Amino acid sequence: MTRQLRVVFHGLHDGSEVHDGATNLATDEALLDAGSLDAGFSDACWLRFYRWSEPTISLGYFQRFADFDDCGSVPVVRRCTGGGAIWHEHELTFAYVGPLDVLPTKVEASYAEWNEVLTHAAARFDRVLRPATPAGSASRWCFEQSVGLDLVDASGKKTVGSAQRRRDGRFLHHGSIVLTAPPGQTFCGAMNLGALELAVAIVDSLVTLRHFDVQHVDLPDEVRERRADLVRTRYGQATWNTQR
C-alpha cells in the first residue's frame, strides 16, 4: 500500500506562518500526538518544513538552561528530544512524523533511511552530504560534535543534526539543516541553498526512494488546538524551559 505523506511548508513561500520557538516546537509535538486526536489521519505521515521568526536557541531536553547565560537576550526553548543546543537562524528545520510501522525497528536504521533521502536531495545541487565519523569533544552545541547518525559536508563539518522521539506507536524525527553558518559557529557546515528549493528536493527524494503519495496541506484545526495547549502549558512556560 502506498503511504500518504502530507507536506506542510511554513514560512518558505511568502513569510506567512513563521513562528517563534515555543510555537514551532509545540507544533512538532502536536503532530506527534495527532494519532490520538481523532483527526482522521493517524495512518498518514507528515513532513513539516519551517523557519523561525527570530534567532532562537533550542536546548536538548537534558541540557542545563544556566549553561547559556552568555547568549544574551536570544530566546531559549527546550525540546522534547535530547541532544545538544541548536542556534536556529539561517537554516531549514524539519519535522517528520508518523506511525512507527513506517520506520525500521532499530533507531539507527531509521536515521540511515532519512539520511539517504537528504543525501539524495543534496546531490541534485551537486552538494555532498555523508555520514559523520564520530568526532569532537563534548560541547553544549549540537553542531560542534558529530556522531555516526549525523551528516557532514565535503569538508567534514556537521551540516545536519536531528533527534528522534518515539511514543504511543508514533515517531517524531526533527532536525536542522544549516543553510548558512550562525554567527561565531564556524564549526558548522552549510548547504548554501535556498530553503524552499531544498525542501522541494527533499520531498522529491522521498517520492523517488520511499514511494510516498504526496499531498501539500495545511495543519488541521485539531493540531492547531493541541499546539496552542502545548504553548500555554509547556513551551511558553519558564517552568519548562528553565527546569534544569
Q: Which residues are catalytic?
A: 142
Contacts of 199 (CB under 8 A, 6+ apart): 9, 12, 49, 92, 94
The SS3 assignment for 232 reads: helix
CA atoms within 13 A on the CB side of 188: 26
Return d(Cα 126, Cα 134) in angstroms, integer. Answer: 24
Return d(Cα 31, Cα 33) in angstroms, integer. Answer: 5
If one counts every other C-beta atom within 10 angstroms of the C-beta of residue 145, the result is 20
